[in-house]
Structure 1
């Protein structure tokens, strides 16, 4: 008999925690997981899945308009926020159930409550129950960061945006990252007046400059307003329920809702980490090595709580690598090079590898290839919106080191192209591939 109640106790049943639990259990480990919110974590419950469903819903605004150019007699349509919201939340419920079934089918014990560390190999549940485990995995993810300023309590975050009682006519969104730009596109297509307020002068830091400039241009053309170098001073709630947003270097803005999208921080507060000696970095993230092990040998961490790359597929890979390494006898290390990413803005962005600036700094001699074009569908629809594809090539080796795209279905196209970048293929390999015509993706093999 083991001296521990479980071989593995996981705190957090998000994407990384669920994958680690399932794989560890399949290797024969006795596994338990504690989740204080809902099984599925940020991505399934209040992140990428419900957001993508809203993105799909928002696209119908342009599709219905464009359909008339393609011969469809479309009557004037009215958008019903309540219907979309409720259908999205129902889908979230369904997915949560499937995640629960997965854990149950692998005989993983689920405690639907908060758990905190009280020792290197012991946790305490909210009801006071203490449980021991040979190893503990922290997979508590991230949490929206809300700056402190007067009236910040009147704002919402991406956690609450999916539950709005009604669609706001005017929305102020704080931030310039992917969450801010994605929800700006969503609300704008639904008919809301959208203003993005950024304390700096750049949107989408980390993405290629040409691509983010193109999104800014298109977003402004669509009617989204941008305020740069305008930090929040306060939010005032008015007698009629509206909000007045006071900004530096900018006139006050009246809105029906304010969405704070200024980034996410590792969810490590109140877990008892400091008490057991788990080291954190300056951002509050858990320090781990390539093997996902923390400064305490029996405690590991995966996903956004480690603040390496805050993407769901990365958390899943880390959870799998941890379980295979520790319980499956298959030492595995996650490769963080050339991880593809997307921004589901309107239009969307896909990217993998180095930006032009990064490549120049690292490689020195590079070649860049671009294709700036209107998608065939946009031409017939009379829509002037242009796509932009960009390829970065190491001049010394001809290897493609970066691909950056903005345009219809860019993430779908980029996923396949990312395989080529990951494999280290060359510009000549792209050139030797016959184009699939007519398609937008063929531009990748026709770049000159």
Structure 2
């Protein structure tokens, strides 16, 4: 049977774009990609990239305060939000154009329409066009979720935060995950009065307890009012903004209420369930280790599969799919020991097992140190850095590495190479320290602080 396309990708985010490019440019396939919104997906348009630029912007007041402590005659004026937002939008436009050019240069046909699956070998665009296709790849990502409650329509999500016309004076962040915590830090750094409500006992659930505790303590010291064990009962519109009534009975007014309590896979209306594509209990597309669904001609990668919801993972999954199906190189995406970073202030970098998880796996030794870094110590700040290694007592292999402090994301990327390779504590010990640096502490911790 002759098909219009060898591969039709639905979704123009990082995973879908990588799969389309590799399948076309290196696999020789005839490929089309449909994207109903902006090319680049969540990461480029409404996630990692604009968020990191906002992180950078939010760090300058502290930098200028440090500069004064070091003797520089500098003063921080108010942030020109419209100027920053304009530059941010221009950068996103540039990146979107780069994504489009990458696809075009690879020979991929782009359709700026929503696409749905008609049958295992046919897709339909919103303009009515239909195409026969040999393989379909779903890479539609996820979307922020706001639960329904009285006044929930008054809340915004991370999608809207980048497009605010004015910077709020008072903001409430609801949620305790990395998105909520990052935006709490961003807005606080930009001069916004921030409260964060989280229904759990401590923010950043899933990360090492000691590490997330240190992040929370520093966030509070930086002026963020964190209320754990607290959720929203209702929101109401008032003359001064939005009144939030919490489950503990307290009331407070805010200019903006941002909900970051979870994300759902984007599967609604794609026509998958009618074809027998298995959908999980969270709404995710269920796939095997090759990213293949229960319908052999349909695959899925990225956040829509709810495996590890990180952009680099989606890219690896898309590349592995293209290698397997179109290049004749069977490849499985590796989901073991994936490092991650939380761009709070301070940052948190993590790979491998937390101390709590490692205890359940067998005998372990914990090496940890917390100290005031030279740069901020000289400036008179009370910040603390945490360096932590979780070591298997039997094999001596480093099972986990956790860093809290400036540039923790940069450091964990390099530490992740050693952990991924199976380095032992003795391998770390044999490495000569680079002095004076914060990261030298990773190779100078000689005695465990705890054993289990």
TM-score, structure 1 normalization: 0.98
Cα distance between partner residues in 2 of 1:250 and 1:83: 39
Instruction: Work out whether residues 230 and 250 of structure 1, in 8 Å CA contact, stay in contact via their aligned partners in 2.
Output: no
The match for 2:392 among 391, 394, 404 is 394
The match for 1:447 among 436, 445, 448 is 445
CA shift, 1:239, in A, is 3.2
Structure 1 position 366 matched with structure 2 position 364: yes
Structure 1 position 231 matched with structure 2 position 231: yes
Residue 40 of structure 1 is matched in structure 2 by 40
Query: Deviation per CA, 1:283-327, whole angstroms, max 9, x where unpaired?
Result: 000000001000000000000000000000000000000000000
Cα distance between partner residues in 2 of 1:444 and 1:66: 26
SS in 2 for 1:339: coil
CA shift, 1:77, in A, is 2.2
Aligned counterparts, 1:122-133, within 5 A: 122-133=122-133
Cα distance between partner residues in 2 of 1:394 and 1:89: 47
CA shift, 1:76, in A, is 4.0
Query: Deviation per CA, 1:333-369, whole angstroms, max 9, x where unpaired?
Result: 111111000000001000000001111101x210000
Cα distance between partner residues in 2 of 1:76 and 1:135: 55
Query: Deviation per CA, 1:99-131, whole angstroms, max 9, x where unpaired?
Result: 000000011000001001110111111111111
Residue 285 of structure 2 is matched in structure 1 by 286
Cα distance between partner residues in 1 of 2:222 and 2:104: 47
Cα distance between partner residues in 2 of 1:28 and 1:94: 28
Query: Deviation per CA, 1:25-73, whole angstroms, max 9, x where unpaired?
Result: 0210000000000000000000000000000011111001100111211
Aligned counterparts, 1:88-99, within 5 A: 88-99=88-99
Residue 330 of structure 2 is matched in structure 1 by 331
Structure 1 position 11 matched with structure 2 position 6: no
Residue 213 of structure 1 is matched in structure 2 by 213
Give structure 1 stretches of 5+ with no counterpart: none
CA shift, 1:202, in A, is 2.1
SS in 2 for 1:57: helix
Structure 1 position 436 matched with structure 2 position 434: yes
Instruction: Work out whether residues 118 and 275 of structure 1, in 8 Å CA contact, stay in contact via their aligned partners in 2.
Output: no
Residue 54 of structure 1 is matched in structure 2 by 54
Instruction: Work out whether residues 24 and 108 of structure 2, in 8 Å CA contact, stay in contact via their aligned partners in 1.
Output: yes
Aligned counterparts, 1:144-223, within 5 A: 144-223=144-223
Cα distance between partner residues in 2 of 1:148 and 1:201: 23
TM-score, structure 2 normalization: 0.97
Cα distance between partner residues in 2 of 1:93 and 1:212: 35
Cα distance between partner residues in 2 of 1:75 and 1:195: 27
SS in 2 for 1:39: coil
Mean Cα displacement is larger for which, 80-89 or 406-415?
80-89
SS in 2 for 1:160: helix
Runs of 4+, deviation exceeding 4 Å: none
How many residues are aligned here?
445
CA shift, 1:275, in A, is 1.2
Residue 263 of structure 2 is matched in structure 1 by 264
Cα distance between partner residues in 2 of 1:431 and 1:275: 57
Cα distance between partner residues in 2 of 1:107 and 1:246: 54
Cα distance between partner residues in 1 of 2:252 and 2:29: 56
The two structures, once aligned, show a CA RMSD in angstroms of 0.9
Cα distance between partner residues in 1 of 2:267 and 2:28: 29
Residue 350 of structure 1 is matched in structure 2 by 349
Instruction: Work out whether residues 45 and 92 of structure 1, in 8 Å CA contact, stay in contact via their aligned partners in 2.
Output: yes
Cα distance between partner residues in 2 of 1:77 and 1:65: 12
Cα distance between partner residues in 1 of 2:409 and 2:84: 23
SS in 2 for 1:265: strand
Residue 375 of structure 1 is matched in structure 2 by 373
Residue 402 of structure 2 is matched in structure 1 by 404
Instruction: Work out whether residues 293 and 300 of structure 1, in 8 Å CA contact, stay in contact via their aligned partners in 2.
Output: yes
Instruction: Work out whether residues 368 and 387 of structure 2, in 8 Å CA contact, stay in contact via their aligned partners in 1.
Output: yes
Cα distance between partner residues in 2 of 1:3 and 1:397: 55
Residue 449 of structure 2 is matched in structure 1 by none
